[in-house]
Structure 1
Amino acid sequence: MVIAMSLSGRERRILAEIEQALEREDPELAQRVAAINKIEGEGNTFPQAYGERLRVWALAHVWMIFSIGGLLIVLLLLAVLTT
């Protein structure tokens, strides 16, 4: 659960100073943090896409297990009936 709280003017200024220092000292890390903030600001689109892929993957594997199980049953019945 995320609780949104507004920052005071002083806190916003301090945060801006920290961000500027990070951009100067480690621009690559600053870009990564900005990318994460962008994803979170868009309503967590990445986890939804990942969840959809995971659901499709799981569904495909369930169908594969049932298909193999059905094939084994048919093969066992054929083996029993032909002996």
Structure 2
Amino acid sequence: MSLSGKERRILAEIEEALEREDPELARRVAAINKIESDGDFPRAYGDRLRRWVLAHVWMIFTAGALVIFLLLLAVLTT
């Protein structure tokens, strides 16, 4: 969905005000926008993020299975 002319003008005014009031924040926002528009973010970080999430999911699953096993062992040995 594209922006109307009025919405583009309002956005441009907001950007200009941001650049005047906080140039450092404006620079950071511009850098983020460039990364997102270039499509580098998913390619650069996507695989690493997927591996990180998968590793943590497996760690949580393993810890849960271990807790269940230890609880069953405690119940069966009493």
Q: With structure 2 as the length reference, what TM-score do the two structures score? A: 0.55
Report which of the two has the higher share of helix: 2
Question: What is the Cα-based RMSD across aligned positions, in Å?
Answer: 2.5
Question: What is the aligned-residue identity percentage?
Answer: 11
- Note the residue ranges of structure 2 that are not aligned, 5 or more in a row: 1-11, 20-25
TM-score (structure 1 length as normaliser): 0.53
- How far is 1:31 from its partner? 2.0
- Is there any run of 5+ residues in structure 1 with no aligned partner, and where? 1-20
Alignment of 1:1-83 (within 5 A): 25=16, 26=19, 27-28=26-27, 29-38=29-38, 40-41=39-40, 44-79=43-78
Q: 1:72 to 1:43 in 2, by over 3 A?
A: closer
Q: Which has the larger radius of gyration?
A: 1
State how many pairs are aligned. Answer: 56
